Structure 1
């Protein structure tokens, strides 16, 4: 019987199967640019040392300019740190501030009362208590003043921004109630103490701050500092502006306000 050759396989159509057209992709949003020339100019106008650290919590952009490694004396801005330490200790113990502590805290933050600060500084264990809390807060370049001289605590602008994150963001060792309490006091400082980083707020924009001012007895030169949260054009900014070896209080106040204004413009 004759053999048959195997049948050739059927041929397939050469027409390609149409592929779906991918949807058009939108161009990536441009990365915001910080314009820091104004900040650098404001810092350069200082007749002493000056530095600023800031973050826009809305965009995540941050900056650190000026004498960034300089150890500044805190003066009264350390009062925020003292109260944060007290609140953290109460959290650890599962307790709340009593009525006397609340009265002292209000006087210390809203009125910048030094006697109230001394009482609460002693209550948290003095320098060792504040230093222990600051290790947990992440303030690695801050050292509490010893011998009861809490106003001679030394710090950097970067560390003060870290402290502000503890006070005003949820990425914090402080619970929500503690943060809201600090915010409420810093939002209620006396009107004549509302200068400083508040200059970055837009018209009608809210702010919460604490300022520090101190003439150094050895030189007669001034420490002028301002830290806080500012609302501007729908954005939330944290700003720490520090200065020392300044010729006058008025000059220092003008300096930190120029710096804060320039920071606000840089984030626009």
Structure 2
């Protein structure tokens, strides 16, 4: 499967105003890389990239951003926008890998060479075929949800059947997942169920995503960042889900950032929405 190179965002209009920092909350919490009209390997049917404008509905873009400082502070994330459910698209791949690693830990073993050969392209290149295989291995939605109970995610529901990209999640749940992954890099431990080696493995892959994947929350960061992005064009509306999660560094300070969006008229518009939201949310956090 081929993956699209990042396209220019010049002239993209997001049409979104972020809400003011709305709340503090307690911690506890398909990517359409192929624009083919036929069903993807994940079982999700995608509209063609050149979908006729007449088919597209007026943009009703939503966006939610959550930011947590890793360097002190209240230990609670700041939330911009409503903490409602969104399709994960391919950000769920971090959750799938965390589930796989938890299952391997329970079995008292490291990942096999085959599992690593699937996990690396799943995170670094957002490979869908590798994700399909690992989704089946972890037991699909039931396996994901069992792991998420241990990871502290409270509002994430696995996608139906093979459609892992239609997993539903919230920005606050994504911060909870990231905190489990980056535990050990924080001033206050969260007792992540992922052991040190498992956390280090996910972190390493997220810091080495392919160059065409390096957009999203990294727009709010200096050169030191780790991320996973997802994008999905919904067939019924022709509109786009675009999401980005990860760790960013600003002036030597580290933050976990999750930005979820849907309803953008194009992928480029969605990227612009996500990157603007990430910059604004991190800036708001640095002022608190």
* Coarse TM-score class (shorter-chain normalised): 0.7 to 0.9
The match for 1:132 is 146
**Deviations for 1:31-66, whole angstroms, at most 9, x for unmatched residues?**
xxxxxxx953799xx841110111011123420121
Q: Are 1:252 and 2:266 counterparts?
A: no
Is the helix fraction higher in 1 or 2?
A: 1
Equivalent in the alignment of 2:94: 80
- In 1, the alpha carbon distance for the partners of 2:236 and 2:138 equals 29
Partner of 1:58: 71
1:139 counterpart SS class? coil
Instruction: Find the aligned partners of 2:73 and 2:136 in 1 and give their Cα distance.
Output: 37
Take 1:42 and 1:193, find their aligned partners in 2: how far apart are those partners? 28
Contact kept? 1:197, 1:209, Cα under 8 Å = yes
**Pair 1:67 & 2:62 matched:** no
| 1:188 corresponds to which of 188, 192, 208 | 208
Aligned mate of 2:234, from 208, 213, 216: 216
User: Superposition pairs for residues 142-181 of structure 1, below 5 Å?
Assistant: 142-170=156-184, 171=190, 172-181=192-201
TM superposition score normalised by structure 2: 0.75
Partner of 1:40: 19
Structure 2 counterpart of 1:5: none
Unaligned segments of structure 1, at least 5 residues:
1-37
Aligned length: 226
- Residues 156-201 of structure 1: CA deviation (Å, up to 9, x unaligned): 0000111000111142110110000000000111111110000111
1:118 aligns with 2:132: yes
Name whichever of 58-67 and 214-223 sits farther off. 58-67
* Mapped partners of 1:39, 1:244: distance in 2: 14
Gaps of at least 5 residues in structure 2 are 1-16, 23-58, 185-189
Structure 2 counterparts to residues 227-266 of structure 1, below 5 A: 227-266=245-284
- TM-score normalized with structure 1 length: 0.81
- The Cα of 1:92 is off from its aligned counterpart by 0.8
Residue in structure 2 matching 1:99, options 92, 107, 113: 113
Contact 2:247 2:257 in 1 (8 A): yes
Q: Distance in 2 between matches of 1:60 and 1:49?
A: 28
Q: Is the 8 A contact 1:199 1:261 kept in 2?
A: yes
Question: Distance in 2 between the 1:60 and 1:164 partners?
Answer: 17
> Is the 2:21–2:81 Cα contact (8 Å) retained in structure 1?
no
Q: Supply the distance in 1 between the matched residues of 2:213 and 2:64 (Cα, whole angstroms).
A: 20
Report the alpha carbon displacement of residue 232 of structure 1 after superposing the two structures with TM: 1.2
Alignment partners' CA distance in 1, 2:20 and 2:266: 19
RMSD across aligned positions (CA): 1.8
